[in-house]
A and B are shown apart, each in its own frame.
Chain A
Amino acid sequence: MFELIRLRVCGFRGFVGEQEFSFDRPVTLLCGENHRGKSSTLNAVEWCLFGDKCIGKKTGIRERVDWEIANRYLQEGEVAVTAEFKGPKGTYRITREQSVGRRRAAQKVTVLLPDGTQLQGDEAENMLYVLFRSSFQDFMTAVYQHQEAIRAILTQEPRERNDAIDRLLGLSPYREILKGIIGARLEETLTNMEGRREDFRKRCEQAIRTLDNLIREERGKAIAEGIPEEAFTEQEALNRAAGIAEAVKYLAEELGAVDFKARVPVTFGEIAEFREWVKTQTDRLWAQAPDVLKQETLAAEQQKLVIPKGRYEEAKGAETAAQAEKDKFVGQFGDEVALVEAIEQQQREIEQLDGQIRKTNAKANLVREAMRYLKEVVPDAERGRCPLCGADAPRLLAHLETEWEQKVKSQVEELEQQKRERQSKLEDFDSLRDKLGTLERNLKNARSGCEDCLRAIAQTLRREIGKEEDPLALLSRRLEQIAREQESIGEAISKKRANISDLYDKLGKLRTIDEILVHQQKRAVIERVWETKELLELEESLNEASQFVEDVRALRTALAEASLEEAEGKIHSAESALDKYFCSIVKHPAIPGLVMEVAEDSRTGLNSYSFKSKDGTDPTPILSQGDLNCFALSLFLGLSEATADTQRFAFLMLDDPTQSLGPEMKRELVSVLEDIANRRELIIATPDPEFKSLLTTHITKTKAVYNFTGWTDKGGPQVTRTMS
């Protein structure tokens, strides 16, 4: 067996300068607060022995992903860890070195044997295995209790706990590889490939069914159109195409096209393009034919003539209506001259009446003034005399009043009545004169509209129209000429159109034959797909994928079986020690003992662990965090004890074993360790002062205590050693 006697650490993780530890007592305690370098000291032993094997995802320890070997504050130099072991033939010195600043730098391993032989590189690595016969997993399971392992097992999540127990049992590689296999999603990929191949097959079958239906329908239609069964051949299609080409050529000649070259398809594959060509050429020839062009020109002219004719008729109608309205008005009320005379007559009469009214008013004023004078100025006694001459004029006032009432007043009123009548008549005549003006303007506008239309007609006919000429007659004559020309051209065109119609009919039949044959060809191509080398290769690649998935499935089964067997073996070998240590430390009143079982998770192939109390009850619901911690420690200690006979390492390393433990459990753990110290060298790291005190006072073996009192980035851990 190999005892650890000395460790020198330089530049490794928390360490900066060189630090030496002597393990010259049965028990060594590494004490101090967290982040002072205790775990780095234990990690240094592990790294020295196993190098990169204890780093990265493959360890199954989350904290080991992106683990830093070199102290992050060092800029240059070497990381170096030397561990000295006392073995059967003397002292064995192992040194592992790595350059600072290079994350994946090559490591240099040196093994110095007691006889002075020095081995390096692969020889040194092989020698490490020969000497210790231990893998990293074995070391982690039975020699070095990682604090991460305890932390992980404290979870309540079954999957994570299974993960942690696998790690405690050194089965992480199985679990991690199984996870890798699951993560590759091979079954999903294979299913996807199979599905797509099946989809392709179904699509092909569907396409064949669709084409069969199309061919059947089109053949039926073709036969109904008079195409005989024997026409559904490529040769027949080519013959028909040649006939159509000849017909296009004849049409071109008929339509007056010069230098037209007909095109004849040579192979069946050219027929679809030929059909398009025929259609394009026919349309082009037709559009360029002189008859057609002439017909289009006549139609355009006809259109041009019809519009001004309509407009002229409309304008002429408006002029006639305006004239009729004016004539009727003049007939009824007289013309402009008569109306002016009537107006002047009324004005003269009004002037005469005004003169009469003025005279009558002068007399009326005199009478009115005399009456007012007699009434208001002359005293009553003098009213019997004339106020002008003083002659007696008895009843003068009464006489004047009678004169006013009976003659003057009625004369004035009658004259004013006559004047009002004349004025009213004058207004009527003014209004009629205005109306006549409006009618004359309307007539003028209508005549102007007619003249505009006339000019438009002259422009359309491209000639001047004399005053004696009837534009409507001229238009009608031209329209009749156009109609005659159209009739003549129409007869010629209708013959040619019949030829085109016949051509289109032939073309339609050719298209039907072509489509049927193309569908038949497509169908044949799809059927031939099943005989292609590509399909065979596709099947081969699918078989290859299927075989690969089958092989991986077999590996997965082998991994799951091996993992389960190893777990069962380890649990079996450690179960009595596990039970003993668990009961000793926990002393749970409701759990008389603990039985651990393992089974394969049928879905994932991973190990699934369960606990049973010895009385058959499920202890999980009553296990505290402390109990779980004790379970993890008991499992580690149980496995150590179970492998003690074959174990090459004479020491155990425990890192912070009292997480979540109460005072009583800590005391019981110390008792267990006191017992183990009789058989194994113990190296224990703890930040727990209570546990340290219990260890120093209750472990009867001599102890070396390294106190990690501080840590600085430039100096690393500050360590002092005391003896106990």
Chain B
Amino acid sequence: MGYREKVLDKINAMEHRADERRFLWQTLINSFEQEGADGAANELAGRIGKVQERFDTLLEKLEEMA
């Protein structure tokens, strides 16, 4: 059993958000397989970056309101 399956087993055993984490794991290993550790880092940073971007826009709007 390779590292993907071993980690997947552990994700499957999780009580919460197993589906979401399985999907995230799949995305993460795809990026890793293509571009190594940097690819994985960029994938994660990009994902949270999108949320942060939305957060920034909203915060800016709220700052203007206040």
Tell which of B2, B11, B25, B55 has the most Cβ of chain A within 10 Å: B55
Please judge, given known A-B contacts A180-B37, A545-B51, A559-B7, whether A554 and B62 are in contact too, CB under 8 Å: no
Q: Which of A177, A204, A562 contacts B28 (CB 8 A)?
A: A177
Give Cα distance in the complex from A189 to B55, angstroms. Answer: 11
Confirm or deny: A538 has a beta carbon within 8 angstroms of a beta carbon on chain B: yes
Give the docked Cα–Cα distance between A177 and B32 (Å): 7
- On chain A, the residues within 8 Å of B31 by CB distance are 180
Task: Determine whether A176 belongs to the interface, using a CB cutoff of 8 Å to chain B.
Answer: yes
Given the contacts A137-B2, A173-B3, A544-B51, A180 and B59 also touching, CB distance less than 8 Å: no
Cβ–Cβ < 8 Å partners of A135 in chain B: 2
Per-residue interface assignment for chain B, residues 37 to 48, with 1 indicating a CB less than 8 Å from any chain A CB and 0 otherwise: 111111111011
A596 CB-CB contact with B under 8 Å: no
Q: Are B11 and A555 in contact (CB under 8 A)?
A: yes
Interface of A is mostly: helix
Instruction: State whether A555 and B21 are in contact (beta carbons under 8 Å apart), knowing that A200-B59, A538-B58 are contacts in the complex.
Output: yes
- Complex: A542 Cα to B31 Cα, angstroms: 25
A196 to B56, CA, bound (A): 9
CB neighbors of B among A293-328 (8 A): none
- How far is A179 from B44 in the complex, measured between Cα atoms in Å? 12
- In contact, B28 and A555 (Cβ under 8 angstroms): yes
Q: Mark B15-57, 1 if CB is under 8 A from A, else 0.
A: 0010011001100110111011111111111011101101100
Note all chain A residues with C-beta closer than 8 A to B61: 534
CA A565 – CA B13 in complex, angstroms?
A: 16
Q: Which of A692-718 contact B (CB under 8 A)?
A: none
Q: Return the contact of B41 from the options A171, A180, A544 (Cβ within 8 A).
A: A180
Q: Is the CB of B55 within 8 A of A541?
A: yes
CB–CB B40/A176 < 8 A: yes
- With known contacts A137-B2, A548-B48, A558-B11, A177–B37 Cβ distance under 8 A: yes
With a 10 A CB-CB cut-off, give which of B2, B24, B66 has the most chain A CB atoms. Answer: B66
CB distance from B32 to the nearest CB of A (A): 5
Contact B32 A173 (CB under 8 A): yes
- Distance between B20 CB and nearest chain A CB, rounded to angstroms: 6
Beta-carbon contacts under 8 Å, A31-82 to B: 56-58, 65
- Contact of A57 with B58 in the complex, beta carbons under 8 Å: no
Q: Would you call B66 and A545 a contact (CB within 8 A)?
A: no
Q: Is A174 an interface residue (CB 8 A)?
A: yes
Determine if A552 is an interface residue (Cβ-Cβ < 8 Å).
Answer: yes
Q: Which residue of A lies closest to B29 (CB)?
A: A177
Name the residue in B3, B10, B52 with the highest tally of chain A Cβ atoms < 10 Å from its Cβ: B3
- A-contacting residues of B (Cβ < 8 Å)? 2-3, 6-7, 9-11, 14, 17, 20-21, 24-25, 28-29, 31-33, 35-45, 47-49, 51-52, 54-55, 58-59, 61-63, 65-66
Q: Knowing that A176-B40, A535-B58, A551-B20 are A-B contacts, what are 10 other residue pairs whose CB atoms are under 8 Å apart, sorted by A's residue number? A: A56-B36, A174-B7, A179-B41, A180-B32, A184-B44, A185-B45, A548-B47, A554-B17, A555-B11, A555-B24
The interface of chain A, by Cβ under 8 A from chain B, is 56-58, 65, 135, 137, 171, 173-174, 176-177, 179-186, 189-190, 193, 196-197, 200, 203-204, 207, 525-526, 529, 532, 534-535, 537-538, 541-542, 544-545, 547-549, 551-552, 554-555, 558-559, 561-563, 565-566
* The 4 A-B residue pairs with the shortest CB-CB distance in the complex, in nearest-first order: A57-B36, A180-B40, A184-B44, A183-B41
In the complex, 23 of the A-B residue pairs with CB atoms within 8 angstroms, ordered by the A residue number, are A56-B35, A57-B38, A58-B32, A58-B33, A65-B36, A177-B29, A180-B37, A181-B28, A184-B41, A184-B44, A186-B48, A190-B48, A525-B65, A526-B66, A534-B65, A538-B55, A541-B54, A545-B55, A547-B17, A554-B21, A555-B7, A563-B3, A565-B6
